[in-house]
Amino acid sequence: MPRVKKTRKVTQSAPRPKVRPTENAPKRNKKLNGKAPGNRNSLKDGNPGGNQPGNTADKKDRRLGSKKKISLLSNEKAEQNNNKRLIPKFKTPQEELNYIENDTRLQALMDKMDDGQSVDKTEELYVDQLLARHKTLCELLGISVDADEEDAPQVVPESDDLLDMLEKSPGKFY
């Protein structure tokens, strides 16, 4: 029998190699050695964020800080309080007028201001708002604010008193 030379060609009689299904096999993740470099790559609370929707807050860089505006003036706090309504809402203007007239805080602040004591800006704002609202409510309801002054008897000086007052007053009248 003659000798058969080796060939690289696969013949029919040669055993077939096993085909490995590489496409269907699940891929294993590469074993990680150490942590990912940089502070940005660290995971918050150990939850892998990945590409999940709604997880965009985790992707932001914490080092960038807040974009919220910061006021440089201390007066803005008082201006923010101006926007708040200081008195509750009422069904009728008469109820609101009664509330303003019976407000103990307003009365105490008015007494304080009449005595000449200093009042905070917020308290002064409170008084100004309530007095302005009281005035508009009185106009709306047809109540005259000077009703107390009209009830008092008015003293009319006699003509001789007027002449004396004119002579005593300094200055010239033309």
Note whether residue 96 is domain-resident: yes
The one-digit pLDDT tens for each residue of the chain (174 residues) are 788 888 888 777 777 778 776 666 667 777 778 777 766 655 555 555 455 555 555 566 677 788 888 877 776 565 665 555 556 778 888 888 889 999 999 999 999 999 988 888 889 999 999 999 899 989 888 888 764 555 555 566 566 777 777 777 766 655
Which parts of 35-103 fold into alpha helices (H)? 56-59, 76-83, 93-101
Note whether residue 12 is domain-resident: no
Tokens of 166: 């004119």
Based on the structure, what is the number of domains in the chain?
Answer: 1
Note whether residue 82 is domain-resident: no
Residue 112 CB neighbours (<10 A): 14
The answer to whether residues 156 and 150 touch, using CB atoms and an 8 Å cutoff, is no
Note whether residue 156 is domain-resident: no
The answer to whether residues 39 and 63 touch, using CB atoms and an 8 Å cutoff, is yes
pTM of the predicted model, to two decimals? 0.38
Q: Which domain holds residue 133?
A: 90-141
